Amino acid sequence: MAKSRFEYVRTYEQDTTLLPNTYIVIRLDGRGFHRFSARYGFQKPNDKRALDLMNAAAKQVMRQIPDVAGAYGQSDEYSFVLGRQCRMFDRREAKLVSTFASTFTAHYQFLWAEYFPGTPLDGSMLPTFDARAVLYPSMREVRDYFSWRQADCHINNLYNTCFWTLVISGGLSERDAEQALMGTNSGDKNELLFSRFGINYNNEDVIFRKGTILIRDMGVCTSTSDSSDAAADLGERQVKSRRQAEREEKKRQKAEVAELHVDIIGDEFWTDAGRWIV
């Protein structure tokens, strides 16, 4: 059997390798979740069960992939950040994005029955997710990335809260609700909720307004590296012994994954040294 005659086809494989010493953010998005959420009767504007299920699946990803330093989720998306020194799969992009998509998908389905006990999945519409990887050379950009996603959460949730309140409590058609919100700014929307429906937006469930942050609770934070900078990280890498690295990996695996619903745009969250920095 002339195997070798065909092996030349391997030379067509072109692995994209992610630049060393940069943070890797992998963002998953639910595929066709507009239809999916309608099919399985998700509550509007937010379904707490669905968010809890997303968070539970993401925690499992963090437990099984110790390279993940932290994560942020909202709606049907989840972003995982890998440390700049991460060597998983030799930083091959296709391996990384496909593995994260597959692992998240597996846990989401496995945990489904726990969060939607009366609603079995239908094989013709299973939950699936796509993924992408983005590189950031500095911690500043990683912070700004997560600020961007949390700002996005806020903007969407404020809009959706208004929209569905107008439809459900206000009796408007979806088209009329859309019209009513056209051109309004944040202040207008807050005012609309309060004056017409007595709703103080700031009293809405914080998980809806802020999304979910997952971090490893390492006890007293003797972080694997300080928050300073690329140069320092690099120096440290060369100094840190293999044994030390293995000890830290074990510690990370054993650490509980903590779930937070707090502001990550301001400085406070990040001043706890070492947050998401590895």
Nearer to a second copy, 167 or 201 (CB): 201
**Interaction between residue 144 and a second copy (CB under 8 A):** yes
Q: How far apart are CB 220 and a second copy at their closest, in Å?
A: 25
Whether 125 contacts 24, CB under 8 Å: no
Whether 138 contacts 81, CB under 8 Å: no
In this chain, which of 35, 38, 41, 140 binds a second copy, going by CB under 8 A? 140
Nearer to a second copy, 57 or 177 (CB): 57
Buried b (16+ CB within 10 A) or exposed e, 55-82: bbbbbbbbbebbbbbbbbbbbbbbbbbb
For 253, the token pair is: 């695996």
Whether 133 contacts 25, CB under 8 Å: yes
| DSSP-derived secondary structure for 73-103 | EETTEEEEEE-TT--GGGGBHHHHHHHHHHH
Binding mask 232-261 for a second copy (x = CB under 8 A): -xxx--------------------------
Q: Which residues contact 136 (CB under 8 A, 6 or more apart)?
A: 22, 23, 25, 142, 145
In this chain, which of 46, 55, 99, 161 binds a second copy, going by CB under 8 A? 99
Nearer to a second copy, 167 or 214 (CB): 214
Q: How far apart are CB 224 and a second copy at their closest, in Å?
A: 17
* Binding span for a second copy by CB under 8 A among 40-48, 118-126, 161-169, 199-207: 118-126
In this chain, which of 51, 86, 139, 278 binds a second copy, going by CB under 8 A? 139
In this chain, which of 40, 42, 72, 100 binds a second copy, going by CB under 8 A? 100
Which DSSP letter does residue 64 get? Answer: H
Residue in 10, 15, 214 with CA at minimum distance from that of residue 96: 15
Q: How far apart are CB 30 and a second copy at their closest, in Å?
A: 10
Residue 136: φ, ψ to 5°: -130, 125
For 89, the token pair is: 């799969």
Helix, strand, coil percentages, rounded to 5, for the chain: 50, 15, 35
Q: Which of residues 5-64 bind a second copy (CB under 8 A)?
A: 5-17, 19-22, 28, 31, 60
Nearer to a second copy, 172 or 265 (CB): 265
Q: Which of residues 152-171 bind a second copy (CB under 8 A)?
A: 152, 154-155
Q: Which of residues 177-216 bind a second copy (CB under 8 A)?
A: 186
